[in-house]
Chain A
Amino acid sequence: AQRVTQPEKLLSVFKGAPVELKCNYSYSGSPELFWYVQYSRQRLQLLLRHISRESIKGFTADLNKGETSFHLKKPFAQEEDSAMYYCALVSGTYKYIFGTGTRLKVLA
């Protein structure tokens, strides 16, 4: 079954500490993976897509096919990073499967 798992509902880190938001997936085929961010009561915004291998707001994510993971990382957390983060997988042509999300709280 195609699935995206985000094992942590809440992740709290101190400002300046490294951040890793975990995402594991189950998919038979070559996956296309994304990270979305949702700031308080706002719309979801695309943060990263694995195809482009870009770094946005200091965040990076590497696709590890062996471990079927796409963890989101940032070396030094900032308070403005506090948000809900969703990992998503494209299934088939365009159907997106989302994880349940991880709330990141960056403490001062």
Chain B
Amino acid sequence: NAGVTQTPKFQVLKTGQSMTLQCAQDMNHEYMSWYRQDPGMGLRLIHYSVGAGITDQGEVPNGYNVSRSTTEDFPLRLLSAAPSQTSVYFCASSYRQGRGYTFGSGTRLTVV
């Protein structure tokens, strides 16, 4: 099992550009989430999904879109990048409540 795979690992964007952060898991996990990690703020939930076709907003959803067309994939789209979106993004998945998340290796995004 590859676990949770995130691509790319690093990305630099110009303000206003759009891009998609990819996340895939091969563990048949129902639950998938996107977090951003910022110094002094811990991890903040952006969007999450409880299964294919079902997504919902987390704590900081503005400026991001998600979709879940398959169980395996949960891409995060930045619609129009802003410097405030400079962060490390983590995708995570979980089989069910109480098992804990499996995290991807992260995407370090810089918006200039």
Contacts and interface: CB of A to CB of B under 8 A. Distances in A.
A96 B103 contact: no
Contacts of A101: 42
Interface residues of B, number: 26
A36 B94 CA distance: 14
Contacts of A32: 97-98
Contact of A94 (B31, B43, B44): B31
A102 B52 CA distance: 35
Nearest to B48: A95
Given A34-B100, A95-B48, 18 more contacts: A32-B98, A36-B100, A36-B103, A43-B104, A43-B105, A44-B101, A49-B98, A90-B98, A94-B31, A94-B48, A94-B94, A94-B97, A95-B33, A96-B33, A96-B92, A99-B42, A100-B42, A101-B42
Interface of A: 6, 9, 32, 34, 36, 42-46, 49, 51, 86, 90, 93-101
